[in-house]
Amino acid sequence: MKCSKCGSDAILFQNYSGMHLCENHFIADFESRAKKAIRKYRWISQGDRIAVAMSGGKDSGALLHFLTKVFGERRDTGIIAISIDEGIQGYRDIEAVRHIAESYNVPFHSASFKDSYGFTLDDIVERQGDRISCSRCGVLRRHLLNKTARELGATKIALGFNLDDEAQSVLMNALRGDAVTLTRRQVMREGFVPRIRPFINLPEREVALYATLNVEGFVEVGCPYSKNALRADVREILNIYNYRHPSTKYALVNLGEELKTPAEDNRTEPGICPGCGEPSFGECQACRIVKEMKR
């Protein structure tokens, strides 16, 4: 097939737009939509120091490439990379992540569950089983990422979440009946580093293609414990439905944004945990997990 814009050989068909795109027009379209999201939500401002959460996979690799391409030469912004080692044997290759970051001349930093909490995710699974490993991991990873980014002077944390991730999150919260999370808007609080998601409107397959075209050394290895996650079931359901109704994921993401209440009406503003000093909504889940493991 030929590109709908220039007639060159196409590398992608966008079923939601009906367009075939060549490599040049795909990259231009991809980056334009990521920039539009940044402008819409005012995610990056003069003086920001952006910490890119790096896993070593396609999403974070693509995000680092995009941000360094757009903001890397600007003197009024800075970019660093942070990787969290959960302690899953054979899963997280910190040196591979470091190599990607250093290939873009971006300072790299890492933190581990073992050094910060005294145990690994493998330890949690050994003692508590793998049924709830994903929820435990998510709490501790977010907690440690925020702490590390703040200590490094970051003003924003950039996450590689794509359209599929965001749509899955909205549907998961709906299936759980979690109205609080569905309607909770990000509230600024001392100690909390705001999150930004430039790829919020970009499908996973396009992020993967962008990474393939631009990033060397990224590795896609599935977490051995992810088989128990609700997200895996939701991903399968959503992909089947979206195949017949290509705008479904966009509709879910837009719904999620519309449901969020204005900040002044939000009654779940984070407090500060007296135990670890990190922002938390209600009881600090990270401290609760640490106490369980110590017992």
* Cα atoms found within 13 Å of the Cα of residue 295, Cβ hemisphere only: 7
How much is the pLDDT for 113?
96
Q: Domain check: are 14 and 95 in the same one?
A: no
pLDDT band at 83 (very low <50, low <70, confident <90, very high): very high
Neighbouring C-beta atoms of residue 63, cutoff 10 Å: 29
Q: Domain check: are 153 and 105 in the same one?
A: yes
> Terminus-to-terminus CA distance in the chain, angstroms?
62
Q: 0.85 exceeded by the pTM?
A: yes
Q: Domain check: are 34 and 50 in the same one?
A: no
Q: Domain check: are 75 and 178 in the same one?
A: yes
How much is the pLDDT for 262?
63
Q: Domain check: are 288 and 261 in the same one?
A: yes
Q: What share of the chain is helix, strand, coil (3-state, %, to 5)?
A: 50, 10, 40
Q: Domain check: are 1 and 130 in the same one?
A: no
Domain membership of residue 6 as a residue range? 1-42
Q: Domain check: are 81 and 135 in the same one?
A: yes
Tell me, what amino acid is at 174? A
Q: Domain check: are 29 and 51 in the same one?
A: no
Q: Domain check: are 89 and 123 in the same one?
A: yes
How much is the pLDDT for 91?
87
Q: What is the largest CA-CA distance in the chain?
A: 65
pLDDT band at 261 (very low <50, low <70, confident <90, very high): low
Residue 162 is encoded by which pair of tokens? 């794509």
Q: Domain check: are 70 and 27 in the same one?
A: no
User: What would the pLDDT profile of 196-242 be if each residue is shown by its tens digit?
Assistant: 999 999 999 999 999 999 999 898 878 888 877 788 889 999 999 99
Q: Domain check: are 21 and 108 in the same one?
A: no
**Under a CB-based contact definition with an 8 Å cutoff, are residues 276 and 284 in contact?**
yes
DSSP 112-170: EHHHHHSS-HHHHHHHH-STTHHHHHHHHHHHHHHHHHHHTT-SEEE----HHHHHHHH
User: What would the pLDDT profile of 23-71 be if each residue is shown by its tens digit?
Assistant: 999 999 999 999 999 999 999 999 999 999 999 999 999 999 999 999 9
Neighbouring C-beta atoms of residue 115, cutoff 10 Å: 11
Quote the number of domains for the chain.
Answer: 2
